[in-house]
Structure 1
C-alpha cells in the first residue's frame, strides 16, 4: 500500500505527523508527499518519497503546470493535485495494488484493514462525511453537505486496476476547473465524488472509525473513549483515523459543543497540537511560492478568478506569473 498526500511548505509539519502515524500502524506501507512548491524539501522522517507537483505533472505529460496552478490559491493546492497524485501513483507504481490518498491532517490509529478488504471487491472506496441523519426538523447539515460533497476527499482509496485508473483520470480532469459552472467554495474537488458510485465500481466505507472529524463529532456512533489499551468509539468500535483539520477554528468550536470537558477527544486533540507545535519549529509557516508573481507582487484572488474564466473562454499563451494584477486576460 502507498499512502499519498499533498501539501505546501506550511503543511510539512502535519504531513510528518501523518507519516509517522502510518509507519507505526502499517510499517510496510510507503508514504509519498507531493509538495506544491518550486523547491524541494529534502528528506523527511517516515516519508519515503517527496516530489514536487511540477515533477509529478511532468511525469504525466503535463507541460502547462504554471498555467494550471495559477488558477488555485494556497488553500486549494490539495484540491489542485489530488487527482494528479492518484493518477501518478497508479502509473508510476504498477506493482502496488492499493493506493490511498490521505489529507496531511489525518492521524492513523489502526491499520486500514477494512479498506484493503473492500478493495478486493471494489476499485474505489469512499468515506462519507456523515453516517447518521439529522433530526427530522433540521436538514441544514444535509444541505451544507450537498454543497460541499457527500464524500470526504481527504480519504480516497483506489485499486491499481483499469477501473481505478479510469476513476483517477476522470477526477483529475474534472477538478482542473477548465469549464464553466464549477462548484463554488474552496474544496471544489469534493462535490464530484457524489457521482463516483454511479460512474465506477465504488464502495462506501460506513465504518465510523474512519474520518472522525469536526463535521461528525455530534453523531451518537462516534463518541470517543479510552478503553485501557487504545481509543475506541461507541459500542467499542475501533478508531482507525482522525482528521484533525481545524479549518476556520471549526474543530475547536465543535469540541466545545459536543465533547465533555473530560472527554477523550479533548485529550487527543491536545496531544496532537503539542506534537504539531514541536514540528512547527522545524517547519514554520511560509509564504506559498505560487501566491506571488515573479515580480514579488501578491496575486489577488480576484485575479486568479479572472484568469480561470478567461482560460475557459479562450486560449491564453505564456506564463501568467510574468503578469500582474493589472494585466488584461
Structure 2
C-alpha cells in the first residue's frame, strides 16, 4: 500500500504525525508527500517517515501553473492537487496494487485492514461523511447534500482501468473546478463502475459525523473502538473539539484526550520544522496578500484572458478589491477544546445507548454539528 498526501510547509508538523502513525501501525506502507510550495528546501522536508517528497509543480500538467495556483485559496488548492498527486503515484509505482489518499491532518490508530481487503475486489473506495440513516432528520437532507455526501479526506484506489479512468476525470475537475470538488465527488458512484462505499464507523471520523460516531470506548491502553468497531483514523480539525463537547461526559473525555495527545504530537513536531512562512501562492509578487474575492473574480472572469500571463504580478486593486483579505487561520489548529456547556437537553442520547433521540436540535452555529 502507498499513502499519498498534499502538504504545505505550514502543514508539515501534521504531515509528520500522520506519516509516523502510518509507519507505526503499517510498517511496510510507503508515504509520498506532494508539497504545494514554490520551493522545496531539502533540510525542511527531510523526514525518516517520508519515502518520497515531490514538488507538485513538477507533476502538474495544467497549461499555465501561475493561473492554476492563483485561482484557488489554500484549501481549494489542496483539493485540486489530490488527483495529480495520486495519478503520479499510480503511474510511477507500477508494482503497487493499492493506493490511499489521506489528508495531512489525519492520524491512523490501527491498520487499515478493511481498505486492504476491499481494494482487492473494488477499484474505487469512497467513504460517506454520514453512513447511519438513523441519525439523519428529513429537514437535514438538503444541508447534508450541500456540505457533500462523500468525504474527500480519504479515498482508496486499486490498480484497475476504472481507477485510472477515475483519476483522469478527477484531474480534469481539479484544473478549474476544485472549489466544487465535493459536488463532483458525489457523482462518482454514478459515473464509475464497482465503486465501494465504506461504512465502517472507525474510518474518517470528523466533526460532521461525530453525532453518529459518539460511542467511543477504550478496551485497552492505546486501543479504541467506535460503535463496537476498531478506530482506524481521525481527521483532526478545530471543529472536532467543539463537536465532542456535546457528547456524554465519558465519551467526550475520551475524544478530548485523543485530541490533546494529537495536539502535543503536532506541537513537538513543529519545534523542528520551520513552518512560520505563509503559503507561497497566497500573495502577489509585491507581497500583498491576495483577497479571496480577487481569486474568485479571476477564476470567473479573467482565467481565459490571454493577456494575463501571470496574475501574481497584479494586485487586489486590479480586481477592484479594496478591503483587506480575510486570512484562513494557521493549518495547525488551536488545540484547546471548547468549554463544555453546563446545560444539556433532555432528548440527547444517553451513554451506551444505540438508539436515536426523538429529534436533533441545532445547538451550535457550526455547520452540520448536532446535539446528542
Provide TM-score, normalisation by structure 1.
0.89
Query: How many angstroms does 1:47 deviate by?
Result: 0.8
- Residue segments in structure 2 that go unaligned for 5+ positions in a row: 321-372
Structure 1 stretches lacking a partner, 5+ long:
none
Partner of 1:239: 231
Residue 303 of structure 1 corresponds to 294
Separation in structure 2 between the aligned mates of residue 234 and residue 63 of structure 1, nearest angstrom:
47
Tell which structure's C-alpha radius of gyration is larger. 2
Cα distance in 2 between the residues matched to 1:56 and 1:176 = 13
Relative to 1, partners in 2 of residues 1:168 and 1:311: Cα closer, same or farther, differing over 3 Å?
farther
**Poorly superposed stretches of 4+, deviation over 4 Å:** 134-138, 311-317
Query: What is the CA–CA distance in structure 1 between the aligned matches of 2:303 and 2:183, rounded to whole Å?
Result: 20
Shift of 1:315: 4.2
Q: Assess, with a 3 A threshold, how the Cα gap between structure 1 residues 38 and 110 changes in structure 2: closer, same or farther.
A: same
Q: Secondary structure at the match of 2:318?
A: coil
Match of 2:51 in 1: 48
CA distance in 1, matches of 2:53, 2:248: 37
CA contact (8 A) 1:149 1:192 kept: no
Instruction: Report the RMSD for the aligned CA atoms in angstroms.
Output: 2.1
Corresponding residue SS for 1:157? strand
Task: Give the distance between the partners of 1:328 and 1:218, measured in 2 at CA.
Answer: 42
Aligned to 1:65: 65
Tell me the distance in 1 between the aligned counterparts of 2:248 and 2:124.
Answer: 33
- Match in the other structure for 1:39: 39
Aligned CA distance change for structure 1 residues 315 and 240 (closer, same or farther; 3 Å): same
1:293 offset after TM fit, Å? 1.2
Deviation at 1:233, TM superposition (A): 1.8
8 A Cα contact 2:241 2:256, kept in partner: no
How far does the alpha carbon of each residue in 1:259-306 deviate from its partner, in whole angstroms, 9 at most, with x for none?
525632111111111111112223334311101111112111111111
Secondary structure in structure 2 of the residue aligned to 1:21? helix
More helix by share: 1
Q: Deviations over 1:58-106 (max 9, x none)?
A: xxx4342111111111232311201111111111222211111100111
User: What is residue 215 of structure 2 aligned with on the other side?
Assistant: 223
Q: CA deviation at 1:41?
A: 4.1
Secondary structure, aligned partner of 2:47: coil
Q: Given the two structures, how large is their TM-score scaled by the length of structure 2?
A: 0.79
What is the rounded CA distance, in whole Å, between the counterparts of 1:29 and 1:139 in structure 2?
42
Matching of residue 258 in structure 1 with residue 257 in structure 2: no
Indicate the residue corresponding to 1:161 in structure 2.
160
Q: Matched residue of 1:298: which SS? A: coil
Shift of 1:311: 4.3
